[in-house]
Structures are given as C-alpha cells and as structure tokens.
Amino acid sequence: MSSAKRYLLIALTFALALTTFTVFAPRAVHAVTAALVQVANTSANPVPVSDSAPRFQASICTMAGTISPATNQCAASTNTFVVPTTTSTGAPVKRLVVENVSGFCSSFLNPNFFVKAIRLRGQFLPDSVPNGLGSFTHYVPMTAPPLSYVNDPSFGFPYGGNQETDYAYGQTTHFAFNPGDTVGVEAVTFLSGGAQDYFCIARVEGYLITQ
C-alpha cells in the first residue's frame, strides 16, 4: 500500500511538472513580413529641391517727392515686377518662392518723416484665406535705427546741403507668388508734418518651382 502511494505521488508530480512546462514554455515567434512601400517620383513629377531650382532675383524701387527722383536711385528699376511664367530654358513656372528681401531707404528735408517698413503686394495663392482682402501683402520692417544727418554742401545737387535720413532692412522669408502676378513694393511711413520725399530700394531673391 505504501509503495502504491509512493508511485502515485511520483506520477502526480511528473504530470504537474509537465503541465507547468507546457504553460510557461516560450511560444514560437511568428515572423511578420512588412510590405515595402516605395514612392516613385517620375520625371514629370520630381521632388522639388530649392538648391537645384532656377534662381530668381528682382530689383524694385518706390519713391516720392522732388529730391528723390533726382538721385537716380530708382532710374534703373520700377516699383513692380511680373513673376515669370516660364524659365529661360522654357520650363513652365508653377510658383515663385521668395527667400530673402533686403534693401535701403532714404528720405530728405523732413526730420518728422519716418519709414517704418516696406511691403510687397501681390495676389493670394490658391487655398489661401483672404478674409475679404483683394491682395496679399508681406511686410519687412526696418531692421536698423535710422541715421539722420545734413549732407556736405560741396556735394552739389541733389544731396548737397540737404537733410537726409537713411534706413536699412533685410529679412529671411518663405512666402510665394503665382506665375504671371504683378508684385509691387510700397513704403509704410509715418508723417507728423511736412512733405514726403523718399525712395526705397528692394532686392527680392528666391527660386522658381517648375514641377
């Protein structure tokens, strides 16, 4: 009887050990194969890269008064430019991306006249939110304190003996205009009295998206 109990106890112990091993044994790991998704850019739809895109530059100028036109600072440019619709190689332009706007302004004969900013004005891009405005405006503030002085009379006309205030500005940007848009430059000024006599020159730099 004692031997039978001992054999039964051994059998139960072996069965319990076998059950425990089955429950806690690590299960086989099933490999999961992920499908590789490739995005292919064709020659008709390449990835836009600004470094390889056609570069764009424009010089525009705005002025008012009698002294400023005589300086001839704006003689070589106008206060607008038209965004190209094709590049010099004939590629159609989809967008002009502006990366930098810089320049300087000068005013004359009025210490109460100040240039606060310049603004570039063009049309809104598709998918924009105009909120009732007829055109898009990007502002570039003056980035340095104005420097005011009286020119040496020996300089002659138009500078000689005239009071002058100079401004400088520059801004790294990232905004865009449509092909064919006319983009203009305007000065944002403050005047507490007297006449307005000034010019502002703007250099616009960026690249053209052609795809």
Between 47 and 163, whose confidence is greater?
A: 163
Is residue 43 assigned to a domain?
no
Is residue 1 assigned to a domain?
no
- CB contact at 8 A, 187 and 198: yes
What's the pLDDT at 143? Answer: 85
Is residue 81 assigned to a domain?
yes
What's the pLDDT at 131? Answer: 93
Decide if pLDDT at 56 tops 50.
Answer: yes
Between 13 and 127, whose confidence is greater?
A: 127
What's the pLDDT at 78? Answer: 87
Is residue 30 assigned to a domain?
no
- Compute the average pLDDT of residues 172-182: 96
Is residue 20 assigned to a domain?
no
- Cα–Cα distance for residue pair 178/79, rounded to 1 Å: 18
Q: Is 128 exposed, middle or buried (0-12, 13-18, 19+ CB in 10 A)?
A: exposed
In the chain, how many domains are there?
1
Is residue 59 assigned to a domain?
yes
Is residue 40 assigned to a domain?
no
- Compute the average pLDDT of residues 177-189: 96
The percent helix, strand, coil of the chain (3-state, each to 5) is: 15, 40, 45
Is residue 195 assigned to a domain?
yes
What's the pLDDT at 121? Answer: 95
Decide if pLDDT at 184 tops 90.
Answer: yes
Residue-number span of the structural domain to which 56 is assigned: 50-209
Taking the CB of residue 205, how many other CB atoms lie within 10 A of it? 14
- Compute the average pLDDT of residues 47-75: 86
Q: What pTM did the predictor assign?
A: 0.72
- CB contact at 8 A, 166 and 106: yes
What's the pLDDT at 15? Answer: 55
